[in-house]
Amino acid sequence: MTDVYTTEKVVALDTRARILDAAGRVFAESGYRGATVREICRRAGANIAAVNYHFRDKRSLYFETLRYWHAVAFRKYPPHVAADGSRSPGERLSIFITQFLSRMLDEGESSWFGKLMAWEYIEATEGLDIVVEEAIRPLFTLLSGIVRELIGDDPPAETVRLCSTSVVGQCLYFVYARPVVARLFPDGDSIVGDKDRIAAHIIRFSLDAIRARAEVKGGDQL
């Protein structure tokens, strides 16, 4: 019976894996509400009933999708790179911002979880609590540490929170607002889609703002 079970599982994984793959793609594109079970199954080459059979329902499929692609994304973009103590805080902020943008803007499946996360920001589902605790909070804590160090001299927690939020807000804007930005600057030289230029700007803008905070603090103390 046990052997049978494993062998059967392999067969099941074929369809199950194809659905998880298609679900990652479709949920990333359209969000939870916008995605349809029919579209996921169509792309997976599976029958509609397969979602019920392998995952119970759309909601559970979504949770499984979050879990699965979270693992994939964090293998590709390990956050500890931005925590590398041998680098300066400024370098670490650069790495963080570049990685944070890549997570959401890259082509292909490595960015699916980042896109799911971006969707949760603006269209929260029941999965938000898990996403916050397992993905957003760790990243935000990492970012806060970098910001705290950049300001120096044990700044107030609220200052750190707000500056970190400004960094995240700028990044997310470039992910969400692409249709608007594309219309504002329809000429070809629009920055939309040029991840490197976007990253370079956010890094510079944020570093300047945070360092100014540090300088003022020093000035106050003199």
Nearer to a copy of itself, 46 or 114 (CB): 114
Q: Which two tokens stand for residue 108?
A: 């292909």
Nearer to a copy of itself, 74 or 121 (CB): 121
Q: Which two tokens stand for residue 182?
A: 């594309």
Closest CA to 40 of 57, 24, 22, 54: 22
Q: Does 63 bind a copy of itself (CB under 8 A)?
A: no
Token look-up 């949770």 returns 63
| 186-215 residues near DNA, rule: CB under 7 A | none
Return the residue of 129, 153, 156, 193 that touches a copy of itself, per CB under 8 A: 129
CB 126 → a copy of itself: shortest distance, Å?
12
Return the residue of 46, 82, 135, 203 that touches DNA, per CB under 7 A: 46
Nearer to DNA, 57 or 129 (CB): 57
- Judged by CB under 8 A, which stretch of 15-23, 59-67, 99-107, 202-210 contacts a copy of itself? 202-210
Residues 6+ apart with CB under 8 A from 154: 148
Burial 69-100 (b: 16+ CB within 10 A, else e): bbeebbebbebeebeeeeeebeebbbbbbbbb
- For 32-80, give the DSSP string: HHH--HHHHHHHHT--THHHHHHHSSHHHHHHHHHHHHHHHHHHHS-GG
CB 51 → DNA: shortest distance, Å?
6
Please return the burial class of 57, using the count of CB atoms within 10 Å of its CB with bins 0-12, 13-18 and 19+: exposed
Nearest-5° angle of CA 23, CA 15, CA 52? 70
| 47-86 residues near DNA, rule: CB under 7 A | 47-54, 56-59
- Count CA atoms closer than 13 A to 204's CA, side-chain side: 6
CB 27 → DNA: shortest distance, Å?
10
Q: Could you list the residues that contact DNA (CB under 7 A)? A: 3-4, 7-12, 14-16, 35-38, 46-54, 56-59
Q: Could you list the residues that contact a copy of itself (CB under 8 A)? A: 33-34, 120-122, 124, 128-129, 132, 136-137, 140, 158, 161-163, 165-166, 168-170, 172-174, 176-177, 179-181, 183-185, 189, 191, 201-202, 204-206, 208-209, 211-213
